[in-house]
Structure 1
């Protein structure tokens, strides 16, 4: 299966698919210094997370693009790439087959900005690719259809926060512990409460934090939230959001030779009246981290739902933090830091403590590196590229989904102090973080000496492009099994995580209003899949495309 969608910015799929033409292209592109400077800034914001001018990234190497491809074609592709694919354009189809993904339309940029981008791109000559990409089907067995069909019904609709898809940018929907109050976020706005299935704005984060930015990219804004297990008594909850780089002095950063594009901020909020349907109260910033891109930051906040008062883990906050796309930027040492810093890690902190470097939170004494000189005591486990969802099963096993670079998507069973491979492994394959990131190699004979823990489940990009965890189902035909999916296409999968070291994965479809279909068909395009759960453990499927929430019956 070839997915049509991608977590890529502006120019995914733009590179010459055939031999270089004889005619000279780009003669009509402006070389104005002012326009080039504007284009450089636009490229940094919109494109650099997935593209560079030396090698293929998530999208292709863009060096020499304007010198080898017709300007008109590039502009048409930027405005509506899917139209090129639908029209069976040979170049578009060849690139879709190579990269497996395409981008959404960017017609909203307008002619002036697109021309500025072209001016900047035209400053680069062609750089020839080095070693070839890895072949597909590194994991030969395909994913079979389970035959299971999930019946969905429309449950809620978030108000549009933009005029073009994604109409609403929800990432999480969970109840306040000990209540049936169901909370859901929009990354651009804040936190809503669903009252009788209707959204009522609980926390207007855009108003409370005017520096909040939810563009460019998909992984910015209000990335995650979580309510304290004792919220009904103490009124505490936590958010992770983004602001532009340099907005405030950071608590954690990196070499100054790499730009700070974004900052991720962890905030503690305290409601005056925990029962109120609208937040009133105070807040305090706990942690501010520099990030080199709009991606792979503080994407998940969670408390262990199995812990009880008196347990060592009770009230400790888990945080998933990725590599910030530092590897793609050419700075893999930021990610591969041997737990010396918080990047590419799952963190565990005590919000009530004050023994951290900035004195605003605590480092639990039981953390694996809490008392190790030269290590970041916050780190619980490391070696993740983008641990976008973390969760526990009823037996207490701890898991994290990790979005891969170009080839492998992972589900890991997480244990304290373990190293999960990134950026020297993608799945159970070797990757050279200083080389061609689309190239994977077999594990060496002496692999054990590296101390790497490998995924419980690894899937290749010919099956899905970006993994996202749902929940272990507590009802229906999937009871006891783990439901997850592909963020982009919305393709759904199921697995029994208790079935040994390599559990079987199967796919499934949905039924809506009596018709069997895919989620792409249901929402009319790119799905931007997320999952939610309520106090009765009913599981929901959410799509940013139209801001809809569907209940799995």
Structure 2
């Protein structure tokens, strides 16, 4: 097993039981307050530099209300989901103009629930389907809708077709990130809704990463026959991304001690609630990197320039985790520390660019004039 490189003293912070990171605990950690597992990987992959850089190029858009999921349209434009309003807005990435496309019916926004992740169909060019993960009155579910830009603004979303339902809901830990993988299957990160026992129950949809066909059936080749469950033992997954070799990574909220970035393997058990962060128990997969909860509370992740980029809510910063294979090749490095408040979503924008959304109007931040906003970053 690779050696563990511990950076900084072990800190215990209290009161981070919610996914978004509530009030800060009494302990604090510096940007280096993390632990990294390092090893080499086969295949002769180029390893990114140990130290990177981030430049804020511009503000793409302002005045967004509780932005959560973001999808990039191939014809240009960003679709942005409002958690609390239950609406999807088209943002012109050049001018910053915002056009509300419509409201997703059935969204029940309370606590950490509402309209969360969105993703485009793998066949978007022909079917114009937009997928959305949201909290309803009874559960968390995934629907799909036709986006018709020829209709009048405010009425451009078709009636939702429920693709998958029955994911446990709660005031906390609703998961919510969805993404289509390189295999064309739909992946969904779920939370255990505050019921920790669900994470280890492979019959439950809570505390899992699910893998579905675009029609919402358990995907072929899943590790548990007939089940949508792809991995389990998660607390609350809100970040999904694939690297250049199509390997899946996921960010996960811890409770009081460790937040995690995991390399995901089908059928693997990531330990919650039996362990939080790294352990010596071989039954559970260890994270490739972990952070004290006051410097992370991670939501979205993206892959660019050989690194995973992870945004933090309570931590109010952007983390860079350089990769070699499925291991971190150097200590994580933080940027934008407390400059823009809470950060929710990060999207690879091609080449050396990222788009990052703030999350200061979600009831837990301190909104400033212009919040919430989308930033364009140049990274290395």
Normalising by the smaller structure, the TM-score range is 0.7 to 0.9
Q: Whole-Å Cα distance in 2 between the matches of residues 236 and 407 of structure 1?
A: 40
- d(CA) in 2 for partners of 1:387 and 1:280? 27
Q: How does 1:419-458 map to 2 (within 5 A)?
A: 419-429=269-279, 443=280, 447-448=281-282, 451-458=283-290
Report the count of equivalent residues. 338
Distance in 2 (alpha carbons) for counterparts of 1:138 and 1:528: 19
Q: Is the 8 Å Cα contact of residues 174 and 534 (structure 1) preserved in structure 2?
A: no
The Cα offsets for residues 130-151 of structure 1, whole Å up to 9 and x where unpaired, read as xxxxxxx89599xxxx775522
Cα 1:138/1:191, change in 2 over 3 Å: closer
CA pair 199-222 structure 1, distance change in 2 beyond 3 A: farther
1:491 to 297, 312, 317: 317
Unaligned runs of 5+ in 1: 14-48, 51-57, 60-80, 82-94, 102-136, 161-167, 246-262, 308-312, 353-360, 372-376, 430-442, 474-478, 511-517
1:326 aligns with 2:195: yes
Contact 2:178 2:188 in 1 (8 A): yes
TM-score w.r.t. the length of structure 1 is 0.55
Q: Distance in 1 between matches of 2:355 and 2:107?
A: 27
Deviations 1:457-497 (A, max 9, x none): 122336x2412343222xxxxx3222223222322322222
For structure 2, the 5+ residue unaligned runs are 1-7, 38-49, 361-370
- Give the alignment's Cα RMSD to 1 decimal: 3.3
> Aligned partners of 1:461 and 1:535: how far apart in 2?
30
Give the distance between the partners of 2:355 and 2:149, measured in 1 at CA: 28
1:292 Cα deviation after fit: 5.2
| Structure 1 residue aligned with 2:46 | none
Q: Does 1:212 align with 2:107?
A: yes
- Cα deviation, residue 411, structure 1: 0.9
1:231 deviates by: 1.0
Match of 2:68, SS?
A: coil
Q: Following the alignment from structure 1 to structure 2, what is the Cα–Cα distance between the partners of residues 268 and 550?
A: 27
Using CA pairs under 8 Å that are at least 6 residues apart, name the structure with larger relative contact order, 1 or 2.
2
Q: Which residue of structure 2 aligns with residue 471 of structure 1? A: 302
User: Contact 1:530 / 1:542 at 8 angstroms: preserved in 2?
Assistant: yes
1:267 pairs, out of 119, 137, 143, with: 143
Give the distance between the partners of 1:244 and 1:484, measured in 2 at CA. 30
Instruction: Give the whole-Å Cα distance in 1 for the aligned partners of 2:130 and 2:273.
Output: 32
CA distance in 2, matches of 1:481, 1:280: 35
| Higher share of residues assigned strand | 2
Paired residue secondary structure (2:211): strand
Of Structure 1 and Structure 2, the greater helix share is in: 1
The higher radius of gyration belongs to: 1
Q: CA deviation at 1:548?
A: 1.3
Q: 3-state DSSP class of the match of 1:172?
A: strand
For residues 346 and 222 of structure 1, the distance between their equivalents in structure 2, rounded to whole angstroms, comes to: 18
SS of the residue corresponding to residue 335 of structure 1 reads helix
Which of 166, 172, 175 is the matching residue for 1:295?
172
Check if 1:368 corresponds to 2:223. yes
**In the alignment, is the contact (CA less than 8 A) between 1:420 and 1:452 conserved in 2?**
yes
